[in-house]
Amino acid sequence: MYYNKSIQSMLCIFLFLFILFSYFPSFGFDEEKQEINEILSELQKNETTKEVSNQDDNLQLNSRSCIVLDRNTKQTLYSKNEKNRVKMASTTKIMTALVVLENSSLDKTVEASKKAAGTGGSRLGLKTNDKITIRDLLYGLLLCSGNDAAVCLAESIAGSVPEFCNIMNQKAQDLGLTNTHFESPHGLDSDQHYTTAYELALLADYAMQNPTFKNIVGTKTQTINLNGYPKTLTNTNELLGNLDGIYGIKTGFTNGANRCLVTACKRGNMDIICVVLGADTKKFRTQDSIKLIEFTFKNYEYFNLQDFAEQYVTNWKNENPNYFTIEKGNSNQLDFKIDSKLQDYKTIAIKKSLKDNIEASITLSTYFNAPVETDQVIGELKIFSNETELMHLNVLSNSTINKKNTIDYLLFFFKSYPNQLQQIFS
């Protein structure tokens, strides 16, 4: 009798927990939030987010490779082995989702094959002949990282996984990702399935420009429809909803790749992609991501280097009005400008400690033989701070100085020797 009551009690507890996690998927979020707050407190205590040079390892990162990419300027703000080829695990699904979004209708209903249903690893939970829309498969792909959803999507779009991978690789080529190659839509370990932290950041930046993709990876929980029945999914991204400014994008794990996380974070007008690859544990993955994000927002801000450079050149011109000598030229008034690439520096991300010590230097040739052509390189402009070079551009002639002809020489003689001319003709 007692044995039966014990069984009944265990069944009741199991049923309670099942209902709790099924209908209240946010139950475990407080634990994630607490862990992240503890990491933030530890960082503040140890001051590990203080400014360090990009070559230093003062951040003490566990991840094998990482990068912080500024989305507005495409600058690398911090990096470690960012161009090493590594396995990417389920961060692969960023490209999978992109290919699907660019090649299919989201409302199309598809049927899961036996191959898709039998795919191992992290799963949405598809069974053979299950019916589901492309849209809901994408949620299953990007929120709970379903490998079965990845194969189902690949077969629905291209007819087979190999053909789908051909589309993925072509897209990588189109985006200039020369050190990225796909052999699957899910990212399970494979020798020829690799990327780099740098190229994965570029891919993530591109993907987040797609509104549908951005919306899905920014969703914490979503209820989808599988065979006409609701199923609630929870995003595996532990930082989403728990760290200020996080709005996506994808986690990953395999034995070969270890723990991976790509995140997008925006605070104020600064918008970054952070990639960590090859962390030993989920906690290290979380710690490294938070360290990099907090380091970036603590130490960087935007600065208009174009305005600074243009003002410096204007002041220099005013202080050096007769700087040039142009042998046999019809003028010595040579105007100049900075290379058009200067506009790329209208907004740059710069370390806050460098902003108050910005200096410039201009080096120009003083002597020319005519002619001098427009857009001819005549020198260089450098802007730096504390010996850190921020900009180095060519200075170009902004006017054409022609070689003197006979008329020019006559006019010069008439202007220079008016008394002698008067005596000759008197």
| Positions marked active-site | 90, 93, 145
The burial class, CB within 10 Å (0-12 / 13-18 / 19+), for 82 is buried
DSSP characters for 53-96? -TT--TT---SSEEEEEETTT--EEEEESTTS-B--GGGGHHHH
State both tokens at 213: 């993709």
What distance in Å separates the CA atoms of residue 111 and residue 155, rounded to the nearest whole number? Answer: 10
> Assign residue 293 a region: left if phi > 0, alpha if psi is -120 to 50, beta otherwise?
alpha
Residue 17: CB atoms within 10 Å: 11
Q: Residue type at 280?
A: D
Q: For residue 25, is the peptide bond before it cis, meaning its omega torsion is within 30 degrees of 0?
A: no
State both tokens at 86: 């590594």
In degrees and rounded to multiples of 5, residue 388 shows phi and psi of -95, 120
Residue 401: CB atoms within 10 Å: 23
Closest-CA residue to 243 (of 222, 216, 220, 259): 220
Give the 3-state secondary structure of 7-62. Answer: HHHHHHHHHHHHHHHHHCHHHHHHHHHHHHHHHHHHHHHHCCCCCCCCCCCCCCCC
Q: Residue type at 198?
A: Y
What distance in Å separates the CA atoms of residue 91 and residue 254, rounded to the nearest whole number? Answer: 11
